[in-house]
Amino acid sequence: MAENPFFAPSTLPYKLPDFAEIREEHYLPAFERGMADQLREVEAIASDPDPATFANTVEALERSGQILSRTVTVFSSVAASDATDRIREIETEIFPKLTKHSDAIRLNRALYERIKQVSASDPEEAWLLEKYRVDFVRAGADLTETEQRRLRELNEELTRIATTFSQNLLKASTASALVVEDAAELDGLSESAVKAIEKDGEYVLPLLNFTNQPALAELTDRRTRRRLYELSVSRAPENFDLAVRLATLRAERAALLGYPDHASYSVADQTAKTTEAVEEMLGKLVGPAVANARREAEALAEQAGFPIEPWDWSFYAEKVRKSRYDFDGAELRPYFELDRVLRDGVFHAAGELYGVTFTERDDLAGYHPDVRVFEVFEADGSPLGLFLFDPYARPTKRGGAWMNNLVDQSHLFGDLPVVMNNLNVTKPSHGPTLLTFDEVTTAFHEFGHALHGLFSDVRFPRVSGTEVPRDFVEYPSQVNEMWATWPSVLANFARHHETDEPVPAELLEKMKAAEKFNQGFATVEYLAAALLDWAWHKLAPGQTVEDAEAFEAAALERAGIAFELVRPRYRTNYFAHIFSSGVGGYSAGYYSYIWSEVLDAESVEWFKENDGLKRENGDHFRSTLLSVGGSMDVMDAFRDFRGRTPRIEPLLERRGLR
């Protein structure tokens, strides 16, 4: 197996993984050898006869496991974006082993003893050392042998169930797809959209991974809408039981680690720190948000002329947009051509703010022909890193949009970052890819994460780039969304794909006015999901749940967020953020999005106060916040940037909640 490409660092520019060389049969041997190598390295560190120092312990740990980390990075990326049946089998086999492996390191007593003896010589070392100490404690390093044995079992079982949960979901997107034989039932969808889903004389509309399917806004046939909606909310029913198992096992694990519930365990190392802080924040938003949504529902019923049902919401929201604001979202699409959005929008804004430039590297490839590779340069022409872009949906890709790293920036290894963005835009059968405004915003959002990775300027990989608390990580990406509608940026990218005409100013004005409508819906849909996540993870150890659907209903009722017309953005059975492997890291953490939006709203205000899109502002944001990654207390970084502690008012203002 000397030719296994994971065994040696990639020789491509920026150590970009050599996807052309990587085959499915390389993964398992690379995982096995990677784990074995790292265990040997860790054993050597733990049994070192010399006294423990930062260099021979913490830094040595940072250096360990390179084959494994290369393999994990590439495999996770491919498993998310292009998971063939074989990749899914490997996933099922390897994830429990990886959990076991990480336990073998974190529960190594001799190693933990050495970490406790280390002293640091500068703040960056001290910060990393403390991170290691906390990681070990949170992983159970202080527990007795018996407790640790139970912990290992719990972790393995949790991983196994979460993998099944996510695989069920991937299957459900086609298994629960809307299938229609007569195209007339799809009236309202565009001709090209109908054509794109035609298969052997049938029309198959796969489910996206959230409650409210986009087609609901367009389908004129009420029965079709109802069918689609019901398929969406009832998909993967076998996942209800898995969710109960996951939540109860997590509660047991939290108890073992000394916490009253999984939520308390989960937020302890976040910027929120306590469950009370999260509950106080969410509590402030629920009442006003529900009141907003109820007002919106009245307007929709008036528009429809009858009491609406959940599957009617988007359809009549579009109608209200058209009649009240004279705005039709579809009119914008011809102005949002994918390549222009990317180059003249996303890249352009980054250029104005940070001076960076982008060159497409056709000579470099990703794991799929649709992946594009760009080299990123500093203003002075020096290399900064690589950016990979995978915009299209495919049956092997999971839902949503995300950023991930292929190479972490670190001075320790002298590595520049290689980061990537995934979107789920439908690939047209021919012609240009025209985006919705939501998809444009998502492209800017994900690129905000990419910048966080690209600008990382830290010594250690463990705290590189987006390696920050989960309830902070969405913040820089949310800030980057502001440039999508910044007038000079918009004028630069929003041009008609055929005529090159700029998007008419009055259309934009209407869009902005119309955007305020449906904020109640968006906020309630989100909060309901956040509170549902919270309820599952506030389960007391030993508490049993007979009926997951009844639990869900009761939890929403208790939180004051139950509203029959607006279901949670994710119900229990498809709440991948909190129950899936890989992305499931948001358990008791879905609150993070609105939590970090407080910082986002504060920062948008700062940019506006300081004259918006200009280098000086970008450089300040970059040097105080983006470049430090997780190498210091991120709330200190925020204060360095903003000059004060965050206030909630800008967020309430923005969401129309005051």
List of residues contacting Zn ion (CB under 5 A): 474, 477
Q: How many whole angstroms separate alpha carbon 564 and alpha carbon 22?
A: 49
One of 296, 352, 446, 467 is an active-site residue; which one?
446
- Nearest approach, Cβ of 474 to Zn ion (angstroms)? 5
Q: How many whole angstroms separate alpha carbon 161 and alpha carbon 475?
A: 30
Please name the helix (run of DSSP H) or strand (run of DSSP E) that holds residue 43, with its range, or none: helix 24-46
Q: Nearer to Zn ion by C-beta: 400 or 541?
A: 400
> What residues have CB less than 8 Å from 3, skipping those under 6 apart?
none
Q: Nearer to Zn ion by C-beta: 293 or 450?
A: 450
Q: Nearer to Zn ion by C-beta: 178 or 403?
A: 403
Q: Nearer to Zn ion by C-beta: 471 or 474?
A: 474
Q: Nearer to Zn ion by C-beta: 248 or 592?
A: 592
Name the residue among 141, 70, 73 with its Cα closest to residue 102: 141
Residue least distant from Zn ion (Cβ):
477
Residue 365 contacts residue 398 (beta carbons within 8 Å): no
What are the φ and ψ backbone dihedral angles of 397, each rounded to 5 degrees? -105, 140
Name the residue among 593, 205, 209, 228 with its Cα closest to residue 398: 209
Q: How many whole angstroms separate alpha carbon 70 and alpha carbon 59?
A: 18
Length of the chain: 658
State CA 118 to chain mean position distance.
35
- Nearest approach, Cβ of 524 to Zn ion (angstroms)? 20
Q: Nearer to Zn ion by C-beta: 402 or 517?
A: 402
Q: How many CA atoms lie within 13 A of 183 on its CB side?
A: 13
- Nearest approach, Cβ of 476 to Zn ion (angstroms)? 9
342 burial level (CB within 10 Å; 0-12, 13-18, 19+): buried
- Nearest approach, Cβ of 293 to Zn ion (angstroms)? 24
- Nearest approach, Cβ of 456 to Zn ion (angstroms)? 16
Q: How many whole angstroms separate alpha carbon 126 and alpha carbon 132?
A: 10
Tell me whether residue 446 is one of the annotated catalytic residues. Answer: yes
- Nearest approach, Cβ of 607 to Zn ion (angstroms)? 19
Q: Which letter, b or e, does each residue of 606-630 get, where b requires 16 or more Cβ atoms within 10 Å of its Cβ?
A: bbeeeebbeeebbebbbebbbbbbb
Q: How far is CA 479 from CA 151, 278, 482, 485, 626, in A?
A: 39, 21, 6, 12, 11
Q: Nearer to Zn ion by C-beta: 474 or 525?
A: 474
Q: Supply 384's token pair.
A: 């900064």
Q: How many whole angstroms separate alpha carbon 144 and alpha carbon 141?
A: 8
- Nearest approach, Cβ of 401 to Zn ion (angstroms)? 8
Active-site residues, by number, are 446
